[in-house]
Amino acid sequence: MTGEKSPRGKIHPEMLVGVSAVVIGLCALGVSMYETSLMREEQRAAVMPILELGRSFNVSAGDPSKNRFALLAQNVGIGPARVLDFKVMVDGKPQQTWDATMRALTGSDERISHSMSVINGRTIPPDKTVRIFELKNMDFLEDVLEEGGRLEFEACYCSIFDECWTTKNTTFGVSQEAASCSPNDTSFKE
């Protein structure tokens, strides 16, 4: 056999093309994975709910018929907010119903007329406001306003991607991330 041996260290063009193809393929895979993660983040941001809890009231000295008091939940985000747990507390003690809440807040044994909307298990679309509670008996308005600092309510809500947050009426729209949302013994029943 009279074949020539290739000298050590000599680079063959075929080998160079093969190594280049592998490096280019790995770079393309890295870029593709990075773009995919960016797209997922954009999708999450495109449907992120932001739930704000608060109160709204009007006290009219001239015309008491215009007096109003309501507790609200508003989705100011750009995706639906699935409210999976809701809690109401007076002086840090969980309340189960609005009747119990108003009695604890005002100290009255009398049933206080009100209207309400169930929020537990509800999906709130973007730019939608839900009146969770509205006081109908304005004889108690002054008591409710005076004692309103003792009242706290919070919601645990999730996006369609099951990313969850909690927010309270005392945090002014600032939400905290939550691992998940599930009702328990202290959850509101109405």
Residues contacting residue 80 through CB under 8 Å, at least 6 positions apart: 47, 49, 123, 124, 125, 126, 159, 160
pLDDT tens digits, residue range 174-186? 899 999 999 999 9
C-alpha dist (Å) from residue 8 to 17, 20, 124, 141, 143: 19, 20, 71, 94, 94
CB contact burial 99-114 (16+ within 10 A = b; e otherwise): ebbbbbbbeeeeebeb
pLDDT in tens, 122-137: 999 999 999 999 999 9
Coil/strand/helix, residue 47: coil
φ/ψ of 130, rounded to 5, equals -115, 125
pLDDT reported for residue 113: 93
Q: What is the mean pLDDT of the chain?
A: 88
Residue 4 has pLDDT above 70, yes or no: no
Residue 18, token pair as written in the block: 């093969």
Q: Which residue has the tokens 């119903």?
A: 97
pLDDT (mean) for 52-61? 90
Which tens digits make up the pLDDT trace of 68-118? 999 999 999 999 999 999 999 999 999 999 999 999 999 999 999 999 999
63: confidence class by pLDDT, cuts 50, 70, 90: confident
Q: Hey, which bits of the chain come out as E strands? A: 51-58, 68-75, 81-90, 93-95, 114-116, 123-124, 129-135, 151-158, 164-168, 176-178
Cα–Cα dist 155/137, whole Å: 26
Is the pLDDT at 1 greater than 60, yes or no?
no
pLDDT in the model for residue 11? 74
Can you tell me the distance from the alpha carbon of 104 to that of 93, in angstroms, rounded to the nearest whole number?
A: 10
Is the pLDDT at 35 greater than 90, yes or no?
no
Q: How far apart are CA 40 and CA 42, in angstroms?
A: 5
Lowest-pLDDT range of 28-42, 70-84, 159-173, 174-188? 28-42
Supply the pLDDT for residue 2: 52
How far apart CA 143 and CA 132 sit, in angstroms, is: 19
